[in-house]
């Protein structure tokens, strides 16, 4: 029963995406929406990305140092572990899980509210492909800009670790700087960015799907929003394994 | 003119419309009335094409909606304006932008022409210019309805649908909206279908009325005939209040 329901949802999702990626009625209108969506979904997320990244960078440095306090391990290992953790997992996967909550709920509730207040019906009656008009600019905006958020998160996270070196005696700044430069593999950034592109698509498309098919009242929009966050988080974790297996092994 | 023949619709085995036929003429306010749950909203959604009918015909000046391909239906919808129960104005846009939206989407007008046309439509529904730059949440329900009418007529529709246009409005504002719908219908020779259970609307603008009961057309006529009808279900529905009972008694004498 659960399998059938999941299959039905997958079918509806695919049909919705088919409509989303059809040719817009007016490209001019779609392109005009993209900067608006960038502001709403990306610029508005910048604050939380910076705050979380800086603290996680700092915590990672402290935890790594405290838990690897072995004289056999080189002193630069703390910086190295912090860098690789940030590059490989935090700034792509964990950041996208956080954004699934922030951006996903925002998108689902916005589209869900438009559905229950008949704004989507109004678009349909005008002859507008509502799925395309509402969802495509969001997907383009978020997928286009997620690499920026990821790179900002990486940089700010590393600064967080640096600040631990500056303001505490857990690690010296020199060891940290040496560690984050030691055996740097540029492909890790590519890997992280590729993951983030896939995750960004999942976040916006899944949230849009649940919002678009919301029905009822405010309570149902809340439920749709919750479903969007939970399911996109699960899909992010699932695709994380698939992409990692594909790109790093 | 819109003509519907033997329209049937059911949801999960529950038959909501049991074969309704009617003709909605151009230049007239055609009302669909009935109790809550009688099927009038479903009928309207079927006529517009938001619900696919199980059986029957819905002809827009001869063009049968159920036979239309997706592209044909999209083109037809550009000839349709709709006033929703809750106005359905776009929250993120000002009143003026809401009216400009269909023009930007479907016309080849310049921005200047679009603004002129939108202001003309807003003026036609007597909305004050100071409301143009406000967002829907910043204006009253009556003003929202007027803005929604302005948006609905922006592209000069041939068909106008109004789903309970008076819900949530005070009697005076409701009357203003009713008269506006009737004026626009006559002025532009639009085929207007109004879904309502407001008896003031029925008496004010009901050029042609169909009464739906349990998914079937129970009665058909106009606002003058309704006063002399002997249909028990219609009378129970229309003359439910003491005020309308007295009106009926007066006219029956």
For residue A117, pLDDT over 90 is answered with yes
Q: Is A124 on the interface with B (CB under 8 A)?
A: yes
To the nearest whole angstrom, how far is the Cα of B88 from the nearest Cα of chain A?
A: 5
Structure confidence by residue, pLDDT tens digits, B70-106: 888 888 888 999 998 888 999 999 999 999 999 998 8
Q: Is B21 helix (H, G, I), strand (E, B) or coil?
A: strand
Put simply, the answer to whether A119 touches B105 (Cβ < 8 Å) is no
* pLDDT confidence bin for B252, thresholds 50/70/90: low
Put simply, the answer to whether A125 touches B90 (Cβ < 8 Å) is no
How many Å apart are CA B181 and CA B122, to the nearest integer? 14
Q: How many CB pairs under 8 A join A and B?
A: 51
For residue A36, pLDDT over 90 is answered with yes
For B200-217, letters b (16+ CB in 10 Å) and e give ebbbbbbbbbbbbbebeb
Residues in B touching A117 (Cβ below 8 Å): 86, 88, 91
Domains of chain B: residue spans and CATH: 2-79+157-252 (3.40.50.300), 89-156 (no CATH)
CB A57 within 8 A of CB A152: no
Put simply, the answer to whether A127 touches B78 (Cβ < 8 Å) is yes
Domain boundaries, chain A: 25-248
Neighbours of B165 (CB within 10 A): 25
Structure confidence by residue, pLDDT tens digits, A149-171: 999 999 999 999 999 999 998 89
Put simply, the answer to whether B84 touches A122 (Cβ < 8 Å) is yes
Three-state helix/strand/coil letters over chain A:
CHHHHHHHHHHHHHHHHHHHCCCCCCHHHHHHHHHHHHHHHHHHHHHHHHHHHHHHHHHHHHHHHHHCCCCCCCCCHHHHHHHHHHHHHHHHHHHHHHHHHHHHHHHHHHHHHHHHCCHHHHHHHHCCCHHHHHHHHHHHHHHHHHHHHHHHHHHHHHHHHHHHHHHCCCCCHHHHHHHHHCCCCCHHHHHHHHHHHHHHHHHHHHHHHHHHCCCCCHHHHHHHHHHHHHHHHHHHHHHHHHHHHHHHC
How many Å apart are CA A163 and CA B69, to the nearest integer? 63
Q: Residue B207 contacts by C-beta under 8 Å, 6 or more apart in sequence?
A: B25, B28, B29, B30, B31, B222, B223
Residues in B touching A119 (Cβ below 8 Å): 88-91
For residue B253, pLDDT over 80 is answered with no
For residue B241, pLDDT over 80 is answered with no
Structure confidence by residue, pLDDT tens digits, B187-209: 889 999 999 888 888 888 888 99
Put simply, the answer to whether B78 touches A124 (Cβ < 8 Å) is no
Scanning A8-47 for CB atoms below 8 A from B yields: 25-26, 29
Structure confidence by residue, pLDDT tens digits, A182-241: 999 999 999 999 999 999 999 999 999 999 999 989 999 999 999 999 999 999 999 999
Put simply, the answer to whether B105 touches A25 (Cβ < 8 Å) is yes
Question: If you count them, how many residues does chain A have?
Answer: 249
Q: Which of B76, B88, B106 sits opposite A121 (nearest CB)?
A: B88
Neighbours of A127 (CB within 10 A): 20
How many Å apart are CA B198 and CA B237, to the nearest integer? 11
How many Å apart are CA A221 and CA A36, to the nearest integer? 23
How many Å apart are CA A126 and CA A117, to the nearest integer? 16
Residues in B touching A26 (Cβ below 8 Å): 104-105
Residues in B touching A131 (Cβ below 8 Å): none
Q: Average of pLDDT values for B156-175?
A: 87
| Torsion over CA: B152, B153, B156, B162 (sign) | positive
Taking each continuous run of H as one helix and of E as one strand, the counts in chain B are 9, 10
How many Å apart are CA B74 and CA B109, to the nearest integer? 20
pLDDT of residue B135: 96
Neighbours of B127 (CB within 10 A): 23
How many Å apart are CA A213 and CA B27, to the nearest integer? 36
* pLDDT confidence bin for A132, thresholds 50/70/90: very high
């Amino acid at each position: 029963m659960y399998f059938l329901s999941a299959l039905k949802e997958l079918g509806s999702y695919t049909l919705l995406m088919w409509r989303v990626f059809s040719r817009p009625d007016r490209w001019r209108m779609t392109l005009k929406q993209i900067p608006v969506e960038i502001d709403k979904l990306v610029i508005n997320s910048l604050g939380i990305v910076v705050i979380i990244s800086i603290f996680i960078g700092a915590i990672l440095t402290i935890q790594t140092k405290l838990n690897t306090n072995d004289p056999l391990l080189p002193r630069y290992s703390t910086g190295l572990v912090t860098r690789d953790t940030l590059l490989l997992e935090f700034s792509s996967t964990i950041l996208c899980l956080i954004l699934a909550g922030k951006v996903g709920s925002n998108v689902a509730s916005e589209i869900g509210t438009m559905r229950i207040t008949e704004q989507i019906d109004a678009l349909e009656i005008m002859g507008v492909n509502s799925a395309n008009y509402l969802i495509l600019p969001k997907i383009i905006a978020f997928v286009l800009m997620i690499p920026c958020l990821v790179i900002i998160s990486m940089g700010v996270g590393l600064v967080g670790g640096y600040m631990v070196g500056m303001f505490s005696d857990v690690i010296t700044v020199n060891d940290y700087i040496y560690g984050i430069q030691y055996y740097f593999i540029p492909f890790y950034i590519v890997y992280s960015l590729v993951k983030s592109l896939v995750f960004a698509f999942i976040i916006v498309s899944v949230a849009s799907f649940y919002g678009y098919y919301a029905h009822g009242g405010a309570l149902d929009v809340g439920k749709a929003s919750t479903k969007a966050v939970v399911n996109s988080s699960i899909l992010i974790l699932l695709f994380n394994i698939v992409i990692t297996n594909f790109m790093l092994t | 003119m819109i003509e519907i023949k033997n329209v049937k619709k059911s949801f999960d085995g529950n038959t909501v419309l049991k074969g309704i036929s009617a003709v909605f003429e151009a230049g007239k306010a055609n009302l669909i009335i009935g109790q809550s749950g009688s099927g009038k909203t479903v009928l309207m959604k079927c006529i517009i094409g938001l619900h696919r009918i199980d059986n029957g015909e819905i002809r827009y000046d001869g063009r049968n909606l159920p036979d239309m391909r997706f592209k044909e239906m999209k083109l037809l919808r550009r000839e349709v304006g709709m006033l929703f129960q809750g106005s359905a104005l776009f929250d993120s846009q000002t009143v003026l932008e809401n009216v400009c939206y269909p023009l930007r989407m479907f016309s080849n007008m310049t921005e200047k022409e679009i603004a002129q046309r939108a202001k003309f439509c807003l003026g036609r529904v007597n909305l004050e210019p100071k409301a143009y730059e406000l967002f829907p949440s910043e204006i009253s329900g009556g003003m929202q309805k007027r803005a929604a009418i302005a948006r609905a007529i922006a592209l000069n529709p041939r068909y106008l649908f109004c789903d309970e246009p008076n819900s949530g409005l005070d009697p005076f504002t409701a009357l203003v909206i009713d008269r506006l719908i009737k004026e626009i219908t006559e002025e532009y020779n639009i085929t207007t279908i109004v879904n309502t259970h407001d008896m003031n609307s029925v008496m004010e603008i009901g050029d042609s009325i169909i009464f739906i009961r349990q998914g079937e057309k129970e009665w058909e006529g106009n606002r003058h005939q309704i006063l002399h009808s002997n249909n028990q279900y219609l009378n129970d529905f229309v003359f439910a209040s003491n005020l309308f009972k007295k009106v009926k008694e007066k006219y029956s004498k």
